[in-house]
Amino acid sequence: MKLFKAGAAAAVAVVLSLTATACGGGSGSAGDGGTAGGGKDKIVIGIKFDQPGLGLKTPDGKFTGFDVDVATYVAKELGYQPDQIEFKQAVSAERENLISNGDVKLVVATYTINDKRKAKVDFAGPYFLAHQDLLVRADDTSITKAEDLNKKNLCSVTGSTSAQNVKTKLAPDANLLEQGGYSECLTGLENKTVDALTTDNSILAGFAAQEKNKGKFKLVGLKLSDEPYGIGLKKGDKELQTKVNAALKKMVEDGSWQKAVDANLGPAGYKAEPAPQITEGS
C-alpha cells in the first residue's frame, strides 16, 4: 500500500508540473507573432535550422547563414534589434501554416515564390535566385549534365520538387533514393552509395562550404530550374510587404547583400548571380 501511495503522489506531481509546462508553452506562442511576449517587442521569424550556409542552428544555440543574415537585416529595417528576434524552425511543409496561423511574422527559409504558394501567403522579394543543380564528389567527372544521371544513383529529399523534376523530365532512368533530409543524402554521397544529390544550388553550396566537407564535393553548375527565393508573409499585408521590399533593396544597395552571400556561400566556390529585381507587390 505504501508503494501505491508513493506512486500516486509522484503521478500527481508529474501531472501538475506537466500541465503547468503545457499551458506555459501554449499561451506564449498563440499571439500575433509580431508583438507577442511581455514587455519588450519581439519579432518571430521562421528559418531553417538544418541547412548550413542558409539557416543553421549551431551548437552554441546561435543561428548562422545567408537567410539568417537577410532576416536580421530586414528585422533591423523594421525596427528590431538582433536580440529582439526570435527564430523559429520552419520545416518546408509547415511554412504556409506558420504564416497563416500567425505563429511567425516572416519566413526566410529557402522559400521559392510560386503561384501555388501565393494562393495562401504573400511574398516580398525575391532576394535571391537559386537554380536546381547537382552536387557530386569532387573527383567525379562522369556527371556534367542532367542526362548523365540515367542509370546513376541519385538522392533527394522525400517529396521534393527537384527529385520529381529529374525523374519525370531530365533523367527518367535515374535510380532515385528519397531520404528524410539532406544530411542523410550527403552520407550516401560521401560513402559512394549515391552519385549525385540534387536540390537548389544554394543549399548544395551551403553543405559543400562546411568546414568538414571542404574539398569533398563540387557543384556541377547546371541551371535545371529557377528558384526565386522570397520572404513569406501574411496574405494581404501590403504594408509589411512594402517595408520588407524596401529593406531588401537597401540591403543590396549598401553592399550588405553581397557581403552576406560571400561570407555564407562563397567558400564553396559558388558564384551567386547578382541580386534579382524585386517583383512582388509592385
Partner 1 sequence: MSSVLYDTPGPKAKVRNWIYTGVFAVVVALALWWILDRMAQQNQLDADKWLPFVTDSQIWTTFLLPGLGETLKAGLIAMVIALPLGALLGIGRLSDHAWVRVPIGTVVEFFRAIPVLMLMIFSSALYVMLGTVSSDLRPLYAVVTGLVLYNASVIAEIVRAGILSLPRGQTDAAKAIGMRKGQMMFYVLVPQAVTAMLPALVSQLVVILKDTALGGAVLGFADLMSMNRQISANYSNTIATMVVIALIYIAVNFALTALASFLERRLRQSKKGTGAVVEGDVAEVDAGGAAGVGKAP
Partner 2 sequence: MFDFLTSGQYDVLGAFWVTVQLTLYSAVGSLVWGTMLAGMRVSPVPIMRSFGTAYVNVVRNTPLTLLIIGCSLGLNQTLKITLGGEDFKEIGFRLAVLGLIAYTGTFVCEALRSGINTVPVGQAEAARALGLNFFQVLTLIVLPQAFRAVIAPLTNVLIALTKNTTVAATIGVAEAALLMKEMLENEADALFAVFAVFALGFVLLTLPTGLLLGWVAKRVAVKR
To partner 1, the closest distance from the beta carbon of 242 in angstroms equals 26
DSSP one-letter string for 237-272: -HHHHHHHHHHHHHHHHTTHHHHHHHHHHGGGT--P
Q: Which of residues 25-84 bind partner 2 (CB under 8 A)?
A: none
At 62, list the grid cell: 546561435
Is the CB of residue 152 less than 8 Å from the CB of residue 195?
Answer: yes
* Residues between 168 and 227 with contacts to partner 2, criterion CB under 8 A: 175-180, 184, 187-188, 191-194
Q: Does 97 bind partner 1 (CB under 8 A)?
A: yes
Q: What cell numbers appear for 7 in the block?
A: 506512486
Among 69, 71, 75, 103, binds partner 1 (CB under 8 A): 103
Q: Which is nearer to partner 1, 125 or 206 (CB)?
A: 206
Shortest approach of partner 1 to residue 99 CB, angstroms?
A: 9
Question: In this structure, are residues 210 and 52 in contact, taking their beta carbons and an 8 Å threshold?
Answer: yes
20: contact with partner 1 by CB under 8 A? no
Residue 25 or 159: which CB sits closer to partner 2?
A: 159
Closest to 224 (Cα-Cα) out of 255, 198, 186, 256: 198
Rounded distance, CA 63 to CA 41, Å?
20
Identity of residue 235: K
Residue 29 touches which of partner 1, partner 2, none (Cβ within 5-8 Å per kind): partner 1
Residue 86 site contact among partner 1, partner 2, none (CB < 5 to 8 Å, cut-off depends on kind): none
Q: Look at residues 253, 15, 215, 29 and name the one whose alpha carbon lies nearest to residue 127.
A: 253
Cross-strand bridge partners of residue 217? 137
Determine if 140 is a binding residue for partner 2 (CB under 8 A). Answer: no
- For the bound state, the minimum distance from the C-beta of residue 100 to partner 1, rounded and expressed in Å, comes to 8
**Residues of the shown chain interacting with partner 2 in the complex, contacts defined by CB under 8 A:** 153, 158, 175-180, 184, 187-188, 191-194
